[in-house]
Chains A and B, each alone.
Chain A
Amino acid sequence: DQQVKQNSPSLSVQEGRISILNCDYTNSMFDYFLWYKKYPAEGPTFLISISSIKDKNEDGRFTVFLNKSAKHLSLHIVPSQPGDSAVYFCAASAYNQGGKLIFGQGTELSVKP
């Protein structure tokens, strides 16, 4: 059973526009959510996170929104740049369930010049 789901395998956006990556989860015990970015032949790198007590966290061009009632989070990238082209993974953890970090399937973002 996939507890963290990214239903869009790929997304293509024009440079300068907004990229919106979506993630859904089923485990209501998740209390921390993270986004990771992965380039080919490299390990994932941390991008931004949000605690379940917040509904928004912003870091430069990156903003994560959390809708707990809908069990949905999204990552907004504004403006998108060609260097943002990568695979983005959503991840979630529950402190009282061992803190395991569970990942989604990933969304491949392509930002075209």
Chain B
Amino acid sequence: NAGVTQTPKFQVLKTGQSMTLQCAQDMNHEYMSWYRQDPGMGLRLIHYSVGAGITDQGEVPNGYNVSRSTTEDFPLRLLSAAPSQTSVYFCASRRDTEAFFGQGTRLTVV
């Protein structure tokens, strides 16, 4: 039982490049979400999904897209990376109210 797996762990992008952060969970949780962590800002919700085929915006959705074609996977896409998207990204899945987090992806946009 791997829990929540995020890939890659580290990534450097140039401004304007696109990429997808991968997130997979093996706990059969319906609810998944993406957060970004920035100094002094805590964890801010980017997008979330309450089940396959259903996604919704969080607190800071601009510049990010998501899709949920299966229960297990919830990828986060950056279509045109900007320096303001330099951050640590966490994926989480939930059983009821307790969320389980991945190890994070540290993204730097130069």
Contact = CB atoms under 8 A, between A and B. Distances in A.
A14 to B, nearest CB: 26
Contacts of B40: 9, 105
Interface in A7-25: 9
Contacts of B48: 98, 100
Contacts of B92: 43, 101
B24 interface: no
Q: Pick from B4, B42, B92, B104 the residue with the most CB of A within 10 Å.
A: B42
A43 B99 CA distance: 11
Contacts of A105: 40-42
B45 A102 contact: yes
Interface in B24-65: 31, 33, 35, 40-45, 48, 50, 56, 58-59
A44 B35 CA distance: 11
B98 A44 contact: no
Given A34-B97, A100-B58, A43 B4 contact: yes
Contacts of B35: 103
- Residues of B in contact with A, size category: 20 to 34
A103 B41 CA distance: 9
A46 B33 contact: no
Contacts of B99: 34, 46, 91, 101
B50 A46 contact: no
Interface of A: 6, 9, 32, 34, 41-46, 49, 89, 91, 93, 98-106
Interface of B: 4, 31, 33, 35, 40-45, 48, 50, 56, 58-59, 90, 92, 94, 97-104
